[in-house]
Amino acid sequence: MEPSPHTATSNPPVAATAANLSERDLVRRSASSVPPPARQLEPVAKLIDVSKCIGCKACQSACIEWNDTNPAIETNVGVYENPHDLTPDMFTLMRFTEWDNPQTGNLEWLIRKDGCMHCEDPGCLKACPAPGAIVQYSNGIVDFVHENCIGCGYCIKGCPFNIPRISKVDHTAYKCTLCSDRVSVGQGPACAKACPTHAISFGTKEDMKTLANSRIEDLKSRGYENAGLYDPPGVGGTHVMYVLHHNDQPEIYSNLPRDPRISPVVNAWKGMAKYLGFAAMGLAAAAGVLHSAFVSPNRVSSEDEEKAEDLVKEKT
Amino acid sequence: MADRDIAKEDAIHPGRPVVVSRYNLGARINHWITAASLILLALSGLAFFHPSLFFLTGLFGGGQDARAIHPWIGVVLFFSFAGLFIRFWRANLPEKSDKAWLAHANDMITGNEEKMPEVGRYNPIQKFNFWVMAILIIALIVTGFAIWDQYFFDWTTIPQKRIAVLIHSLAAVALICIWIVHVYAAIWARGTLSAMTRGSVTGGWAWKHHRRWLKELAERHRVKKPAAPAE
Amino acid sequence: MTNSWTDIRNTDLVVIMGGNAAEAHPCGFKWVTEAKANRGAKLIVVDPRFTRSASVSDFYAPIRQGTDIAFLLGLINYCILNDKIQWQYVKAFTNVAYIVKEGFAYNDGLFTGYDESKRDYDRSTWEYEIGPDGFAVVDDTLQNPRCVWNLLKAHVATYTPEMVERICGTPKDKFLKVAEMVSECSSPTKTMTSMYALGWTQHSKGSQNIRAMAMLQLLLGNIGVRGGGMNALRGHSNIQGLTDIGLMSNLLPGYLNIPVEREADFTTYMSSRAFKPLRPNQTSYWQNYKKFFVSFQKAMWGDAATVQNDFAYQYLPKLDVPAYDVLRTFEMMHQGKVNGYFCQGFNPLLAFPNRQKITESLSKLKWLVTMDPLETETARFWENHGEYNNVNTASIQTEVIQLPTTCFAEEDGALVNSGRWLQWHWAGGTPPGEAKHDTWIMAQIHLRLRALYEKEGGPFPDPMLNLTWNYKDRNEPSAEELARELNGYAVETLYDPADATKVVLEKGKQVVNFSVLRDDGTTACGCWIFSGCFNEAGNNMARRDNSDPDDTGAYPNWTFSWPLNRRILYNRASADLQGNPWDPSRKLIAWDGTKWAGYDVPDIAPNAKPDTVGPFIMNQEGVSRLFARGLMRDGPFPVHYEPFEAPIANVIAPKIRGNPVARIFQSDVAQFATSDEFPYAATSYRLTEHFHYWTKHNRVNATLQPEFFVEISEQLAAEKGIAHGGWVRVWSKRGEVKAKAVVTKRIKPLMCDGKPVHVVGIPLHWGFTGAARKGWGPNSLTPFVGDANIETPEYKAFLVNIEPTTAPVAV
| Residues A180, A299 within the same domain | no
- Across the A:B interface, residue pairs with CB atoms under 8 Å apart total 180
> For residue A310, what pLDDT band results from cuts at 50, 70 and 90?
confident
Q: Which of residues 670-709 of C touch A (CB under 8 A)?
A: 688-689, 699-709
Chains C and B touch (3+ CB pairs under 8 A): no
Question: Is the confidence at residue C501, as pLDDT, over 80?
Answer: yes
Whether a cis peptide bond, with omega within 30° of 0, leads into C563 is: yes
> For residue A5, what pLDDT band results from cuts at 50, 70 and 90?
very low
Specify the CATH number of the domain C666-804: 2.40.40.20
What's the pLDDT at A7?
42
> CB distance C56–A108 less than 8 Å?
no
Q: Which of B17, B162, B207 is facing A266, going by the closest CB pair?
A: B162
Partners of chain A (3+ Cβ pairs below 8 A):
B, C
Class of domain C5-93+160-236: alpha beta
- As a whole number, the mean pLDDT across chain A is 92
Judge whether C588 and C600 are in contact, CB under 8 Å. yes
- Please check whether residue A243 lies inside any domain of the structure: yes
Q: Which of B64, B106, B147, B217 to mutate to test the interface with A (most CBs of A within 10 A)?
A: B64
Catalytic positions of B, written as ranges: 182
Count of domains for chain A: 2
> For residue C271, what pLDDT band results from cuts at 50, 70 and 90?
very high
List chain B residues with CB under 8 Å of A163. Answer: none
List chain B residues with CB under 8 Å of A32. Answer: 51
Q: Which of A148, A285, A312 is facing B12, going by the closest CB pair?
A: A312
Question: Is the confidence at residue A4, as pLDDT, over 50?
Answer: no
Angstroms from A34 CA to nearest CA on chain C: 39
Q: Which of C14, C39, C699, C700 to mutate to test the interface with A (most CBs of A within 10 A)?
A: C700
> CB distance B48–A295 less than 8 Å?
no
Name the residue of chain A whose CA is nearest to C724's CA.
Answer: A78
Q: Which of B48, B63, B204 is facing A308, going by the closest CB pair?
A: B204
| Residues A53, A92 within the same domain | yes
What's the pLDDT at C336?
97
- Please check whether residue A100 lies inside any domain of the structure: yes
Residues A205-223 have a mean pLDDT of 95
What's the pLDDT at C356?
97
What's the pLDDT at B229?
47
The span from the CA of A256 to the CA of A229, in Å, is 13
Name the residue of chain C whose CA is nearest to A56's CA.
Answer: C688
Q: How many CB atoms lie within 10 A of CB A158?
A: 26
What's the pLDDT at B102?
86
Angstroms from A148 CA to nearest CA on chain C: 29
Q: What is the CATH number of the domain that holds A146?
A: 3.30.70.20
- Please check whether residue A223 lies inside any domain of the structure: yes
Question: Is the confidence at residue C733, as pLDDT, over 50?
Answer: yes
List chain A residues with CB under 8 Å of B204. Answer: 300-308
> For residue C710, what pLDDT band results from cuts at 50, 70 and 90?
very high
Angstroms from A21 CA to nearest CA on chain C: 30
- Please check whether residue A17 lies inside any domain of the structure: no
Last residue of a domain, one of A251, A269, A287: A269
Q: Which of A150, A280, A297 is facing B190, going by the closest CB pair?
A: A297
What's the pLDDT at A303?
87
pTM of the model: 0.92
| Residues A137, A278 within the same domain | no
The mean-pLDDT minimum among A26-30, A308-312, C370-374, C731-735 falls in A308-312
The span from the CA of C144 to the CA of C157, in Å, is 18
- Please check whether residue A9 lies inside any domain of the structure: no
What's the pLDDT at B226?
56
Question: Is the confidence at residue C446, as pLDDT, over 80?
Answer: yes
Name the residue of chain B whose CA is nearest to A292's CA.
Answer: B188
- Please check whether residue A234 lies inside any domain of the structure: yes
Residues C419-429 have a mean pLDDT of 96
The per-residue pLDDT for range C103-158, each reduced to its tens digit, is 999 999 999 999 999 999 999 999 999 999 999 999 999 999 999 999 999 999 99
Domain boundaries, chain C: 5-93+160-236, 240-320+486-540, 326-444, 666-804
The per-residue pLDDT for range C774-810, each reduced to its tens digit, is 999 999 999 999 999 999 999 999 999 999 999 998 7
- Please check whether residue A3 lies inside any domain of the structure: no
DSSP state of A97: E
> CB distance A55–C703 less than 8 Å?
no
> CB distance A280–B177 less than 8 Å?
yes
List chain A residues with CB under 8 Å of B57. Answer: 150
> CB distance A151–B67 less than 8 Å?
yes
Name the residue of chain B whose CA is nearest to A32's CA.
Answer: B51
> CB distance B215–A311 less than 8 Å?
yes
> CB distance A72–C23 less than 8 Å?
no
What's the pLDDT at B4?
74
| Residues A168, A308 within the same domain | no
Cβ contacts of residue C213 below 8 Å, gap of 6+?
C15, C17, C18, C72, C194, C196, C200, C230
Last residue of a domain, one of A249, A269, A289: A269
> CB distance C50–A74 less than 8 Å?
no
> CB distance A198–C33 less than 8 Å?
yes
Partners of chain B (3+ Cβ pairs below 8 A):
A
The span from the CA of C299 to the CA of C388, in Å, is 47
Angstroms from C57 CA to nearest CA on chain A: 9
What's the pLDDT at C237?
82
- Across the A:C interface, residue pairs with CB atoms under 8 Å apart total 121
Name the residue of chain A whose CA is nearest to B53's CA.
Answer: A129
What's the pLDDT at A11?
59
Q: Where are the alpha helices (DSSP H) in chain A?
A: 58-67, 123-127, 154-158, 180-183, 190-194, 205-221, 264-270, 272-294, 302-315
What's the pLDDT at A313?
81
| Residues A44, A132 within the same domain | yes
| Residues A264, A275 within the same domain | no
Question: Is the confidence at residue C24, as pLDDT, over 90?
Answer: yes
- As a whole number, the mean pLDDT across chain C is 96
| Residues A57, A199 within the same domain | yes
Over chain B, what HEC string results? CCHHHCCCCCEEECCCCCEEECCCHHHHHHHHHHHHHHHHHHHHHHHHHCHHHHHHHHHHCCHHHHHHHHHHHHHHHHHHHHHHHHHHCCCCCCCHHHHHHHHCHHHHHCCCHHHCCCCCCCCHHHHHHHHHHHHHHHHHHHHHHHCCHHHHHHHCCHHHHHHHHHHHHHHHHHHHHHHHHHHHHHHHECCCHHHHHCCEEEHHHHHHHCHHHHHHHHHCCCECCCCCCCC
> CB distance A298–B188 less than 8 Å?
yes
- Percent pLDDT > 90 in chain C is 98
Q: Which of B12, B41, B46, B49 to mutate to test the interface with A (most CBs of A within 10 A)?
A: B49
Angstroms from C612 CA to nearest CA on chain A: 43
Name the residue of chain A whose CA is nearest to B149's CA.
Answer: A153
Question: Is the confidence at residue C89, as pLDDT, over 80?
Answer: yes
| Residues A191, A97 within the same domain | yes
| Residues A173, A256 within the same domain | yes
Q: Which of C27, C34, C725 is facing A76, going by the closest CB pair?
A: C725
- Percent pLDDT > 90 in chain A is 76
| Residues A83, A209 within the same domain | yes
The span from the CA of C274 to the CA of C259, in Å, is 15
Instruction: For chain B, list residues with pLDDT below 50.
Output: 1, 229-231
> CB distance A311–B173 less than 8 Å?
no
The per-residue pLDDT for range C332-387, each reduced to its tens digit, is 999 999 999 999 999 999 999 999 999 999 999 999 999 999 999 999 999 999 99
> CB distance A197–C58 less than 8 Å?
no
The per-residue pLDDT for range A138-184, each reduced to its tens digit, is 999 999 999 999 999 999 999 999 999 999 999 999 999 999 999 99
Where is pLDDT greater, at A304 or C554?
A: C554
Range of the domain at A100: 23-269
Flag whether residue C544 sits within 8 Å of chain A, measured between CB atoms. no
Q: What are phi and psi of A167, to 5 degrees?
A: -75, 140
Angstroms from B16 CA to nearest CA on chain A: 7
Q: Which of A284, A298, A309 is facing B189, going by the closest CB pair?
A: A298
Q: Which of A90, A108, A196 is facing C27, going by the closest CB pair?
A: A196
- Please check whether residue A4 lies inside any domain of the structure: no
> CB distance C36–A199 less than 8 Å?
no
Where is pLDDT greater, at B64 or A302?
A: B64
| Residues A197, A311 within the same domain | no
| Residues A257, A285 within the same domain | no
Rounded alpha-carbon distances, angstroms, from residue C755 to A213, C680, C748? 47, 12, 13
Partners of chain C (3+ Cβ pairs below 8 A):
A
Topology (CATH) of C326-444: Rossmann fold (3.40.50)
Q: What are phi and psi of A26, to 5 degrees?
A: -75, 135
> CB distance C54–A109 less than 8 Å?
yes
What's the pLDDT at A299?
86
Chains B and A touch (3+ CB pairs under 8 A): yes
> CB distance C26–A199 less than 8 Å?
no
Secondary structure of residue C744 in the 3-state scheme: strand
Cβ contacts of residue C228 below 8 Å, gap of 6+?
C2, C3, C11, C191, C192, C193, C217, C221, C222
